[in-house]
Amino acid sequence: MNVLINKTSLKIFEGARVADAIRLYYRQHKKAIPKPLPSVYDIHGNHVNHDGSLHENIHLYLK
């Protein structure tokens, strides 16, 4: 499954949740994974919970 976080395209396992994608985002950028994980928003500016489901080509933003 392909997802987009900020401007980074990520290839992640099918069934991944928002938290999985955030962790992969930081690892792909060779950065430490923050604790707690940062807030996430969809393209409409809505807050999305970390345990939310992802779908193909979803675009999320970290603030």
Partner 1 sequence: MNKFRFAFFGALLSLVILTISCGTSRKTGYSTQIPETKTLSILAVNDMHANIDQFPRLAFIADSLRNLYPNLLLVSAGDNQTGNPVNDQFPERGMPMIELMNALHFNLSAMGNHEFDPKPNALAFLLKNADFDFISANIHPKDTINFPIKPYRLVHLPNGLTIGFVSVIEINQRGIPDSHPDNLTGFSFSNPISTANQYLFLKDSCDVLIYLTHYGYENDVKLALQFPQDVVDLIIGGHSHTKIDTEQIHNHILITQAESRLKYATLIQMKILPDGSRTKTAQLLTVGNKGQVNEEIAKMVDKFNDNPRLNTPIAEATDDFSNREEIGFLMVDAMRASSQTEIALLNPGGVRLAYLPKGPVTVKDVYLMDPFGNETILYRLTGHELKSLLTNAFRFDDYGAIIPSGMKTRYHLDQKGQLFDVELFTDEGVPMDLNRLYSVAMNSYMASVYVYEHEDPGASNYTTTAVSMIEFLRKIGKIPSYRDQQRVEIIK
Q: Measured from the CB atom, is 7 or 30 closer to partner 1?
A: 30
Cα 56 to Cα 18, 30, 31, 34, 36: the distances in Å are 12, 24, 25, 25, 25
Q: Is 4 in the site for partner 1 (CB under 8 A)?
A: no
Is the torsion defined by CA of 15, 17, 23, 27 positive or negative?
positive
Q: State the minimum distance, in angstroms, from the CB of residue 49 to partner 1.
A: 4
Site string for partner 1, 29-48 (x = CB under 8 A): ----x--------xxxxxxx
* Smallest distance, partner 1 to C-beta of residue 56, A: 6
Helix, strand, or coil (residue 24): helix
